[in-house]
Amino acid sequence: MMKTDRLYEVFGWIGTAAVLVAYALVSWRFIGPDSLPAVCLNLAGGLGIAAVSIKKRAYQPAVLNVFWAVIAIIVILRR
C-alpha cells in the first residue's frame, strides 16, 4: 500500500470516529445537535469518509458524506 493510500485510510477512520463521537455525545445529551462541537465533528466526519470513499471509488457513501459536510458548513455559516 502506498503512503497516500494509508493517509486516506487514516482520514476515513478519523471521519468514522468523529461521526460516532458526535452521535454519542448528542444522543447522551452531553452536547446539543446544533452545537459547534457537534457540527465540527460531523464536518470532519463527512469530509474524512468522503475522501476515502472517493479514493476507493465508492460513490454512494462519497455523495452521502459530501452532503453531510455541506450541511455542517451551512450550520456553521448560519451561526
Q: What average pLDDT does range 46-64 have in this prediction?
A: 97
Residue 22 has pLDDT above 70, yes or no: yes
Q: What average pLDDT does range 44-69 have in this prediction?
A: 98
Number of folded domains that form the chain: 1
The span from the CA of 77 to the CA of 64, in Å, is: 20
Copy the grid coordinates of residue 19: 461521526
The mean pLDDT value of the chain amounts to: 96
What's residue 1's pLDDT? 63
CA distances from 41 to 3, 22, 61 (A): 25, 6, 17
Q: What average pLDDT does range 14-20 have in this prediction?
A: 98
When pLDDT is cut at 50, 70 and 90, the band that residue 2 belongs to is confident
Number of residues written out for the chain: 79
> Who's near 25: CB < 8 A, 6+ residues apart?
31, 37, 38, 41
Give the three-class secondary structure for 79: coil
Q: Which residue, chain included where needed, has cell 452521502? A: 64
Domain of 65 in residue numbering reads as: 3-78
